[in-house]
A and B are shown apart, each in its own frame.
Chain A
Amino acid sequence: CNKELDEVNINPNAPEIPQPDYLLTGTTKATVDSYWGVTNNMNSSLLFAQHWAKVQYTEEDRFIYSNSSFTALWSTGYAQSIAGFNKIIELSDAQGNSNYKGVALVLRSWTFLLLTDAYGDIPYSQAGKIKQFVTPAYDKQKDVYYGILNDLKSAQAALDPAGPVIVGDVIYNNKIASWKKFANALRLRIALRIADRDPAKAKQVIDEVQAEGGAYISSNSENAILKYDVSPQQNPVAASFETRNDYRISKTIVDKLISLNDPRLPIYASKTENAPQGYVGIPNGSTNSEASAIGLANSSKPGAYFLDAKAPAVIFSYAELLFDRAEAAARGFTTEDAEDLYKQAIRASFLQYNIGGTAVEDYIKQSGVVYNAANYKKSIGEQKWIALFGQGLEAWTERRRLDYPQLTASVNTVLNGQIPVRFIYPGTEQSLNGQNYKNAVSNQGADLLTTKLWFDAF
């Protein structure tokens, strides 16, 4: 009867062995949904970056969070993304298709980067290995960055445009050459992330890429994006605005765009519903009463571009790549022309939103925009902040690193005038991985929104 009972217990609801392409689509989508979604983007990092502000239920905009507020990045990042990408790597090793492995390594590295940028010390070397580690130890942030850099190097080696084909890639439509460029772009991003702390390593990474003859993302058509579809596969921003009305564009960025006469303003922001129709941001950190006093109809939602169901989630843009190259040059890591790259970056950002013509050349000439070699962090920081609009996690991280633009916290906020510089660990780590959590806290500092991370030297 054993055989009969075995058969009864075969699960008829879900596969025991997955296909790598199905897993690639599913895991990529789940990761990007979380990256662009409410918890990690709209209701946290976009507020910290002062791209967006809350017009209702403003507690988060005043930095009132609980220790369960930041669980989504952790839970999706580890239990969906890293677990899924690990499985693809395992399958591709078994099936001898190194391109699946390369792609999965790149995406897993990006996920680890999001995690460490937000929380600091995180499980890396023991992560995603439940058979060996039920309570994974936290690696120091520096070690995480070093580890990801190695992984990206392996990915680069594994990816071969002439190698076996892959399917199920919804970012680059199975084009391996583009993945190689994206992998290098991430290496450049990380090199700069640690540049204030560890300039030698930063330079070494950039040199390595160069020595490999590696190419970077070289046009907007090579942006790493996930393009959404109509409902129910709509962009998370569109999904939120379908049922809720919590967010407006921040007064900080509206004022900045107006002061620079920036043609991206009508892309980034919608006009107010009530006359006189115009672009009105909500000040970050308003109380419910203050926000309510401005009113839902008298403040600007994000622009139609961002509210569209099919809007893309941007992971890495050509503009960012050019800003990174400009900064690498400004720091002396390369011999490229920082100012020229800076201008190219702004042009790329305009083109990302199909703003053509000569508008950009007039824009670049303005005193508020013109490249300041003496304070490259200010020039790059401010323009990058504008170019990264909507990419909350990246914009917030870059602002923490470059310290430009200079943002201030509202008097209604609760962190003694500070803006959060990290996510707090999920409260569940205290109960489920207590000793390692304690070790991480003793290494990194109290588990608070205001504890600076290793990369954030200044």
Chain B
Amino acid sequence: QNATVTGTVKSADGETLPGVSILIKETKQATISDAKGAFSINAPDRGILVFSYIGFKTQEVQISKNGPISVILQSSDNALDEVVVTALGISRQKKSLGYAVQELKGQDLAEAKESNLVNALAGKIAGVRVTNSQGSMGSSRVVIRGETSIAGNNQPLFVVDGIPVDNSQLNSAGARDYANTISDINPEDIESISVLKGPNAAALYGSRAAAGVILIKTKTGKSKKGLGIAINSNAVLETLLTLPVYQNAFGQGSEGKFSYVDGAGKGLNDGVDESWGPKLDGRLIPQFYSKGVAVPFVAHPDNVRDFFQTGYSLNNGVSVADAGEKYDYRISYNNLKQVGIVPNSGQGKNSFVLNTTLKITPKLSLTANANYSKLNSDNLPGTGGSRSTSTMLQFTWFGRQVDINQLKNYLDENGKTFNWNNSYYSNPYWVAYENTVSQNRSRIIGSLALNYKIIDGLDFNFRSGTDYYNDRRKVRIAYGTNGTPFGSYTESAFTVSENNTDATLNFNKQLNDDFSLALLGGGNIRRQYIEQNDQSAPKLAIAGLYNLKNSRDPLVSSNNLSRLKSYSVYASGQIGFRNYLFANITARNDWSSTLPAQNRSYFYPSFNGSFVATEAFDIKSEALNYLKIRGGWSKVGKDADPYRLINTYVFSAPFYGNPQLTTGAIDLNPNLKPETTTSTELGLEAVFFNKRFRFDLSAYNTNSYNQILAADVSQSTGFSSKLLNAGKINNKGIEAQLGITPVKKAFTWDVDVNFAANRSKVIELDAEKLLTNYVVASNSAQVIATVGQPYGSLFGTAFLRDGNGNIIVNATGAPTTNPTKQVLGKYTPDWIGGVYNTFAYKGISLGVLVDASFGGSIYNGTYATGTYTGVLASTLPGRAAEYGGISYYYPGNKKENGTVRVNVTAPAGVTVYDDGIVFDGVTADGKRNEKVLPAQQYYKSFRNIDEANIFDASYVKLREVKLSYNLPAKWLRPLSLQGVSVSLVGRNLWIIHRNTVDIDPEVAFNTGNGQGLESLSNPSTRSYGINLNVKF
């Protein structure tokens, strides 16, 4: 006989638990607890209810007749009970999955805050490779399990509460490293992050699953204890972590000579922006600030360091949350103010989040989420090598004697810009204060979802969500800037929107004692819209007024619109047998607007399964607590970018009234097929010794083929590139997560280790096998995908060597370049890993994260230039007798006669120099090189030989240290406080090991695939501060 049973579910600390799955063991009917933790179900007399919930132990309760049931679930660290969020937000028991999923809790992100959310993932999740931004306001790149797309986007898809959100990095107008847009999400609002590592886990996301999916679940309202108000305050200082190592022995000039007149060539080498000048020994030389008076020529060792300031960020947020019988809500507000290390750089962010659910009837609930964020920056730090905007360019071409303090007033008494060099540069403070780029982004991510319980076990869900933002940049180059005498003004405006509507049916049933079934079917409509409008006044008419009307020349405008639409249907099913054997299947078909009609529809399935041996064989051992093996195969398809089918022609401004068109650079492809990725994954999870030792091992093999890539072709074809649909790349790798609890008493010590090694190989570029290289990015060296090599090869000029590997020198004794370019390394690492140690005692806990990356290479552009310009400490050896320089002279004092080493004494009347160096190489006829090169020529001789400038990019970093203290409850009760925690936090504190000089080997230049080519990057930073969290 059935009766309606009611009750509530709470956690051990008294919080109500919404969304707990409640199953009637006998009938296999199920329901879910509401926002207040309440439930009601029609159940047989003395039946058994099974309560299960993410992160809690499953509990069985027998129905009694004593009125409402009150259930308290115990939190669980048992692998058997763990429930995780999978694709499309579906919760599944972890043991039932045939692939790896790893989660991070919001608290791990919120305390040691990063302004770019992506950075917080670094070192914490096996197989997730994060490349940090320059400074703290730039872009960060994240790649999961290696690059599976040769030319396309390898950034994972970010999904917030079921809504795919944009994470693009929209161009770099004004030479700024704009942050990728996922940084709009405030870490404080995140409940958990679940990482689906590639197609096996993410197949249901279709087109964008190949690179993996990062699922973000934001916090929702819970029934309050106390006032339900939480305040979080975070203050962090930011200082330089790296800086090139400069020499302080020689100042500006060339061949040892320098004297300032106008800084543009009127004086002696005073237009030279290099440090091959006189010794910094206090000799008297007119300098840029001395108005013709000879003043002491001395080093200013910290002249670059002193340009930078201590940055800081202040992050303050407040939230209110509650849940009632028919509603729950959480409202939060957060404010970030950030000041960068580059003078006059900074940004502010405000975000408002509202998450709410209304239970309209017992069967129908409505969830509405809205996240509004506003980013404001008056100026972002200048990056890269553009002379009007770069921060590091002129410090790499620099006079080591320059007193930076003399430059702070960047205008002279006549109001003219004032600098140490006037032939090429503007004053660095002028660059920082006058040539600015502002950014302003308003964004709303919102969704509405309906859930209707048709019958117990069968739900209908409808969700529609939009991510919409406007992003505007204003690029100001001031009148009087060197190289841009009239200045310029550019406005860029982006409008981006992505709209997803999904309808799904969900069915869950325990079929009998042995079998359980979960089915899902649904459909999706996706629309994407990206518009860009740029207007530029290339020369200002009058100084200081930044308005597009203030232009000497006709405005230059461009305007681009991109639209995409797709339809999808998908289904998934899970069959479980006796709680230890599970089979999962998914299928999806997409129709995308970007593909030609004949290839528009594409289907892809996945299968996976798991087997829990400890359950199946009923192993109950202290030594072996849990053992599961899992495996699966999946296939995902991917469409193209919009407008890649038919060639178009390019407009430029009319010439004498004639409109102009030219041919496009890419030969497009009207027969594009979808890209396909297949992936096989095997895994093993085990827990030993009373859960003191846990590991999770994965191995995967991913093949991506029919890749759409605009391969460079010889321009003699009439095009620079051709859109191919043929590339093949393989990635295989292993991942391990290891958890050890060496001490587990009042004092506990946990060690979490993660390790991942990925090997990629480019199999083929075009079907005809005519092409061997795909150029991903070019600087001096190039990043290429070359057949037979790992992805991300660094390709460039090498030393010319003889059969024994000796470098061959030319007649002057300088190294020669091999006319054939070589593969000189790869930027992708061989392995990455992290070790997180957590020590806890009572309310105190200490977390220390060390992470490492080994085996990649980087082209060090700072070193290449700084060696050429003589500013780096690495150019000291041989520069004078005291630095080991060889003495030599020119016979007859004529330079065309070449150098002769001083053996005993030099002939009378010749000038003797002491800066000679002999390059370690052989002459063309195989003899050891003995020609003496002046140091300046020696160090300048390998700037264009990329091999000399490529370094191993391995590093070990002290990524995070966090010391937290939760104040005891007994102190707080009298103050009506629910919780107070204080943390001292530090990020990127120390590069423990690196094999490069002068730069941080881990620097993202953008979120694209062209990594590993460093060029005058801004120094990276460390941050440390305090975090305070108070709950009322």
Contacts and interface: CB of A to CB of B under 8 A. Distances in A.
A27 B264 contact: no
A352 B652 CA distance: 31
Contacts of B556: 232
A127 B722 CA distance: 15
A109 to B, nearest CB: 16
A11 B646 contact: yes
Interface stretch (A17-25, A217-225, A367-375, A379-387): A17-25
Given A8-B593, A296-B264, A14 B719 contact: no
Interface in B701-733: 712-720, 722
A276 interface: no
Contacts of A86: 718
Taking each of B483, B484, B715, which has the highest tally of chain A beta carbons within 10 Å of its own beta carbon? Answer: B715
Contacts of A288: 254, 272
Contact of A127 (B552, B647, B650, B717): B717
Given A21-B658, A429-B714, A13 B664 contact: no
Given A130-B667, A229-B656, A431-B795, A8 B714 contact: no
Interface in A6-51: 6, 8-9, 11-16, 18-19, 21-23, 25-27, 29-30
B720 A13 contact: no
Contacts of A427: 821
Given A6-B597, A8-B564, A22-B658, A13 B423 contact: no
Taking each of A75, A77, A83, which has the highest tally of chain B beta carbons within 10 Å of its own beta carbon? Answer: A83
A434 B719 contact: no
A136 B663 contact: no
A12 B266 CA distance: 53
Contacts of A133: 717
Interface in A310-360: none
Given A56-B271, A233-B653, A292-B265, A134 B770 contact: yes
Contact of A432 (B483, B566, B652, B773): B773
Contact of B656 (A27, A56, A170, A447): A170
B255 A289 contact: yes
A289 B655 contact: no
A309 B819 CA distance: 39
B649 A23 contact: yes
A130 B812 CA distance: 44
A434 B772 contact: yes
A289 B257 contact: yes
Interface in B520-563: 538-539, 552-554, 556, 559-561, 563
Nearest to A12: B561
A16 B645 CA distance: 10
Given A79-B719, A288-B254, A292-B265, A9 B645 contact: yes
A201 interface: no
Given A78-B718, A430-B820, A432-B714, A8 B565 contact: yes
Interface in B574-601: 591-594, 597, 600
A362 interface: no
B255 A80 contact: no
B567 interface: yes
Interface in A400-416: 411, 414, 416
Given A22-B658, A84-B663, A243-B483, A432 B713 contact: yes
B649 A296 contact: no
A95 interface: no
A236 interface: no
Interface string B250-280: 0000110100000011101101100000000
A168 B657 CA distance: 9
A26 B773 contact: no
B648 interface: yes
Contacts of A297: 265-266
Interface string B614-642: 00000000000000000000000000001
A148 interface: no
Interface in B442-488: 483-485
B620 to A, nearest CB: 56
A19 B655 contact: no
Contacts of A16: 646-649
Contacts of A295: 265-266
B27 interface: no
Contacts of A446: 819
B567 A1 contact: yes
A416 to B, nearest CB: 7
B851 to A, nearest CB: 35
Interface string A210-244: 00000000000000000001111100000000111
B714 A245 contact: no
A450 interface: no
B483 A75 contact: no
Contacts of B567: 1
A13 B659 contact: no
A1 B525 CA distance: 12
Nearest to A130: B717
A135 interface: yes
Interface residues of A, number: 84
Nearest to B660: A26
A128 interface: yes
Given A66-B944, A231-B553, A411-B896, A74 B715 contact: yes
A101 interface: no
Nearest to A132: B717
A84 B597 contact: no
Taking each of A18, A245, A296, A431, which has the highest tally of chain B beta carbons within 10 Å of its own beta carbon? Answer: A431
A423 to B, nearest CB: 14
B660 A78 contact: no
Nearest to B897: A411
B106 to A, nearest CB: 38
A15 B649 contact: yes
B660 A29 contact: yes
Contacts of B373: none
A433 B269 CA distance: 44
B665 interface: yes
Interface string A89-124: 000000000000000000000000000000000110
B784 interface: yes
A79 B272 contact: no
A130 B719 contact: yes
Contacts of B2: none
B714 A26 contact: no
A434 B552 CA distance: 47
B658 A25 contact: yes
A202 to B, nearest CB: 27
The list of the 7 closest CB pairs from A to B, nearest first, reads A26-B660, A83-B718, A14-B648, A123-B716, A128-B718, A433-B714, A411-B896
Given A5-B566, A78-B715, 20 more contacts: A5-B600, A6-B597, A8-B565, A8-B642, A9-B645, A16-B647, A21-B658, A26-B650, A55-B265, A66-B944, A79-B720, A80-B663, A84-B662, A130-B718, A135-B717, A136-B717, A167-B658, A243-B485, A296-B266, A431-B784
Interface of A: 1-2, 4-6, 8-9, 11-16, 18-19, 21-23, 25-27, 29-30, 55-56, 66-67, 74-75, 77-80, 82-84, 86-87, 122-123, 126-130, 133-136, 167-168, 170, 229-233, 242-245, 288-289, 292-293, 295-297, 411, 414, 416, 426-434, 436, 446-448
Interface of B: 254-255, 257, 264-266, 268-269, 271-272, 423, 483-485, 538-539, 552-554, 556, 559-561, 563-567, 591-594, 597, 600, 642-643, 645-653, 655-656, 658-665, 667, 712-720, 722, 766, 768, 770-773, 775, 784, 795, 797, 810-812, 817, 819-821, 895-896, 944
30 contacts: A1-B567, A6-B593, A14-B664, A15-B648, A16-B648, A18-B661, A22-B661, A26-B650, A26-B661, A67-B797, A74-B715, A78-B717, A84-B662, A86-B718, A127-B717, A129-B718, A130-B667, A134-B713, A134-B717, A134-B768, A135-B770, A135-B771, A170-B655, A288-B254, A289-B257, A289-B269, A296-B264, A431-B775, A431-B821, A434-B772
